Amino acid sequence: MGLLLLSSLTNAADTILSKSHAAAIFAMNKSEWNNSVLKNKTSQSQKSDLNAQGVVRMQLQYGNGALLHVTPEFETSNSNPSRINVTLAMPTPMSLMFDEDTISKITEQAALEMLPEYNLLGSYENVGGGVALFFVIIEN
């Protein structure tokens, strides 16, 4: 999900959230997701770890210090995910471009672009001088 990072504010939603990436993730069961992430861990900037449910969390660190985490939630090992959690954490000075109004506009635009297949919920927190954007993608 989104191997490109925010080249501009106008396409921010496109670069971290996409229907095609969501569709690919929603088509996987837990084993397929875990294997996919572990298999594609080809660079030092991508890491992964297991959460308490045994799901690999994909983590990408970009050269500008931003972090992208993607973790689907599975009800059972053989089922498809019930939701996909996406977190984008941006340090300063990049985070200074993202005030409440800008984040709201990005979230609204991304939610519209994910319709009708997916609902998108978004929130954010100011963290350690930076900002973290939290998205939850749910299939309709």
- The DSSP element (H or E) to which 108 belongs, if any, is helix 100-114
Residue 60 phi/psi, 5-degree rounding, is -120, 135
Q: Can you give the pLDDT at residue 10?
A: 37
In a domain, 3, yes or no: no
In a domain, 2, yes or no: no
- What lies within 8 Å, CB to CB, of 115 at 6+ separation is 140
In a domain, 125, yes or no: yes
In a domain, 1, yes or no: no
User: Which domain does 70 fall in, by range?
Assistant: 9-139
DSSP for 110-130, written as a single string: HHHHHTTTEEEEEEEEEETTE
Question: The CATH number of the domain where 98 resides is what?
Answer: 3.30.1460
Q: Can you give the pLDDT at residue 63?
A: 85
Q: Can you give the pLDDT at residue 46?
A: 58
Q: How many domains does the chain have?
A: 1
For tokens 């991508």, what's the residue?
Answer: 46
Q: Can you give the pLDDT at residue 49?
A: 82
**Mean pLDDT per 10-residue run, the chain (140 residues)?**
36 65 95 88 60 90 88 93 95 89 92 95 93 96
In a domain, 111, yes or no: yes
